[in-house]
């Protein structure tokens, strides 16, 4: 009787420990020395049990919470939605890849947690929130971004994307470049966040047909229509982001000077009319006109309808940061994918409504002519 009781006690204890042992064995073989394996208890303590007051955003596959570790370090904790359906090995493979992504303009992954079916990623905490809140949200009145900060955000974000696209051994396409996924540190330096929907690209694959992910207003037309994902889809989204940074307005806004156009449409019309400065945010007191106009033109290069005409992000960095003259003869009309966004836009369309300008010209748009 006594032995039977002892056996039952031992059995229950082993069952409780089994998931932990299983996870530990699963982690073996993965190069995760530069990441901390957090326990669920640690993260719940850090976030006050994921209290709503610590919620700082929502991205692909999950809500993000601010947390404070016992040593005082601030972290951003993101429990992945159950819908992500990632197995342990699949999750660890992605984490292993992301642990090697180190760049000053990318949010750093610092750890992870696996608890039963739950998956959680832990990032560095970035002090000034995201660009959407700082620049596009009506609630934000305390932060004022002048051209110096805005241009630095454009260049820094471009450098971060160039690193993902060109410098990693396994190239990463972000898939959801937008203002809310650009975080700002204490000095307003940009850091690209939310790699939840990132796809890894082998060197021998130029495009992948995939389930469409991303945010309306930033989607390249070839991606929105056919699900063809390449690095050039990120380039397109970045071009839209530049226009938002310059104008201080959301890309989904459709009432520009009573024209009922989207931001990209309006920018192209102003370009054709050579009235670029009408796009500039009136909140900016002073700015170098020639440089602002150049940034607008770079944005238009990035958003051309034909993906192959868009520059690589390494070229975009040069176009923004160096004293070069853009080859404007190669600039063609943007690709515009217009969704029905409600009565205010006065654009009635079905979900596949498309204004898609294309060009058969094969000339490269990435040529730049030194002065």
How far apart CA 242 and CA 151 sit, in angstroms, is 9
* 304 close to 150: Cβ distance less than 8 angstroms: no
Q: Please provide the distance, in angstroms rounded to a whole number, between the alpha carbons at the two ends of the chain.
A: 93
CA-to-CA separations, 58 to 54, 76, 110, 180, 255, in angstroms, rounded: 12, 11, 19, 9, 27
How far apart CA 7 and CA 148 sit, in angstroms, is 70
* 147 close to 287: Cβ distance less than 8 angstroms: yes
Q: Is there a binding annotation on residue 261?
A: no
Catalytic pick from 33, 176, 185, 187? Answer: 176
How far apart CA 203 and CA 213 sit, in angstroms, is 22
Contacts (Cβ under 8 Å, ≥6 apart) of 2 = none
* 161 close to 174: Cβ distance less than 8 angstroms: yes
Q: Which two tokens stand for residue 282?
A: 């009136």
How far apart CA 241 and CA 175 sit, in angstroms, is 13
Q: Is there a binding annotation on residue 340?
A: no
Q: Which two tokens stand for residue 339?
A: 């969704």
Q: What is the dihedral of CA 315, 318, 321, 326, to 10 degrees?
A: -90
How far apart CA 235 and CA 212 sit, in angstroms, is 16
What value, to the nearest 5°, has the Cα angle with vertex 261 and ends 255 and 262?
Answer: 95
Annotated catalytic residue 176: yes
Q: Which residues are annotated as a binding site for ATP?
A: 78
What residues are labeled active site?
Answer: 176
**Binding-site annotation, residues:** 78, 181, 194
């Amino acid at each position: 009787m006594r032995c039977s009781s002892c056996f039952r006690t031992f059995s229950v204890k082993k069952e409780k420990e089994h998931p932990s042992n299983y996870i530990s064995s699963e982690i073996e073989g993965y190069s995760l020395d530069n990441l901390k394996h957090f326990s669920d208890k640690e993260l719940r303590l850090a976030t006050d049990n994921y209290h709503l007051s610590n919620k700082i955003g929502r991205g692909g596959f999950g809500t993000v919470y601010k947390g404070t570790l016992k040593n005082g370090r601030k972290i951003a904790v993101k429990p992945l939605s159950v819908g992500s359906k990632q197995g342990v090995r699949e999750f660890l493979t992605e984490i292993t890849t992301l642990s090697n992504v180190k760049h000053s303009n990318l949010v750093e992954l610092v750890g992870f947690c696996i608890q039963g079916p739950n998956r959680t990623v832990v990032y560095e905490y970035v002090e000034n929130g995201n660009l959407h809140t700082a620049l596009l949200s009506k609630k934000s009145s305390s932060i004022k971004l002048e051209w110096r900060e805005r241009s630095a955000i454009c260049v820094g974000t471009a450098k971060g994307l160039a690193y993902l696209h060109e410098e990693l051994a396994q190239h990463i396409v972000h898939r959801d470049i937008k203002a809310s996924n650009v975080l700002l540190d204490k000095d307003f330096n940009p850091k690209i966040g939310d790699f939840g929907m990132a796809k890894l690209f082998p060197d021998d694959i130029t495009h992948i047909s995939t389930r469409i992910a991303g945010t309306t207003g930033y989607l390249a037309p070839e991606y929105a229509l056919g699900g063809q994902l390449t690095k050039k889809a990120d380039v397109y989204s970045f071009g839209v982001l530049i226009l938002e940074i310059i104008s201080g307005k959301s890309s989904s806004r459709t009432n520009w000077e009573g024209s009922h156009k989207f931001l990209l449409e309006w920018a192209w019309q102003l370009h054709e009319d050579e009235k670029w400065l009408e796009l500039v945010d009136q909140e900016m007191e002073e700015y170098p006109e020639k440089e602002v106009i150049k940034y607008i033109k770079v944005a238009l290069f990035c958003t051309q309808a034909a993906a192959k005409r868009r520059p690589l992000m390494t070229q975009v960095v040069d176009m923004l940061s160096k004293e070069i003259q853009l080859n404007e003869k190669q600039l063609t009309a943007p690709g515009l994918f217009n969704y029905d966004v409600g009565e205010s836009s006065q654009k009635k369309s079905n979900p596949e409504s498309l204004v898609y300008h294309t060009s058969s010209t094969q000339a490269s748009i990435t040529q730049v002519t030194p002065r």
